[in-house]
Structure 1
Amino acid sequence: MNTLLFDAGNSRFKWALVRNGRLGAQRAVPREDLTGFTAWLRRAPAIGRVVGVNVAGARLERELRAALRTAGAPRPEFIVSTRAAAGVRNAYARPGRLGADRWAAAIAAWHRAGCYRTVCAVCIGTALTIDLVDQDGYHRGGLIAPGPSLMLDSLLGRTADIAPRAALDARRSAAMRRPTGSRPLVPPLTGATMSAVEEGCLAAAAGFVDRTVNQVARALNVRPVVFITGGASAPVIARIRSACRPCDELVLRGVALIAEVPIRRRA
Structure 2
Amino acid sequence: MTQDWLFDFGNTRLKCAPLGDDGVPGAVRAFAPSEFDALPSGGVAFVASVASEDARVQLLDALSRKFRRVCIARTSARLDGLRIAYATPHKLGVDRFLAMIGARDAWPSLVVGVGTGLTIDLVDREGRHHGGRIAPSPTLMREMLHARATQLAPIGGAYVEFADDTEDALVSGCEGAAIALIERSLAEATRRLGVAPRVLLHGGGADPLRMHLPDAESRPGLVLEGLAHWATLERTA
TM over 0.5: yes
Identity %: 34
Partner of 1:179: none
Structure 2 residues without counterparts, runs of 5 or longer: none
Indicate whether 1:197 and 2:170 are aligned: yes
SS at match of 2:163: coil
Partner of 1:9: 10
Candidates 44, 56, 67, aligned match of 2:51: 56
Indicate whether 1:112 and 2:105 are aligned: yes
Partner of 2:227: 255
40 and 10 in structure 1: CA distance in 2 versus 1, 3 angstrom threshold: closer
Question: Within 5 Å, which residues of 2 pair with 1:85-234?
Answer: 85-109=79-103, 111-113=104-106, 117-159=107-149, 163-164=150-151, 166=153, 187-234=160-207
Q: Contact between 2:84 and 2:128, CA under 8 Å: does it hold in 1?
A: yes
Partner of 1:244: 216
Q: Which amino acid aligns with 1:112?
A: D
Partner of 2:70: 76
101 and 129 in structure 1: CA distance in 2 versus 1, 3 angstrom threshold: same
Deviation at 1:261, TM superposition (A): 5.6
Q: Contact between 1:65 and 1:75, CA under 8 Å: does it hold in 2?
A: no
Q: Contact between 1:86 and 1:257, CA under 8 Å: does it hold in 2?
A: no
Deviations 1:142-186 (A, max 9, x none): 100000111111122224xxx42648x97xxx9xxxxxxxxxxx9
Q: Contact between 1:2 and 1:20, CA under 8 Å: does it hold in 2?
A: no
Q: Contact between 2:110 and 2:198, CA under 8 Å: does it hold in 1?
A: yes
Q: Which amino acid aligns with 2:223?
A: V
Deviation at 1:28, TM superposition (A): 1.6
Deviations 1:220-247 (A, max 9, x none): 1110011110011111111224x11111
Partner Cα separation in structure 2 for residue 78 and residue 52 of structure 1: 5
Question: Is the radius of gyration larger for structure 1 or structure 2?
Answer: 1
Partner Cα separation in structure 2 for residue 148 and residue 68 of structure 1: 32
Partner Cα separation in structure 2 for residue 204 and residue 147 of structure 1: 9
Partner of 2:31: 29
Structure 1 residues without counterparts, runs of 5 or longer: 175-185, 263-267
Deviation at 1:195, TM superposition (A): 2.0
Q: Contact between 1:53 and 1:255, CA under 8 Å: does it hold in 2?
A: yes
Deviation at 1:40, TM superposition (A): 4.1
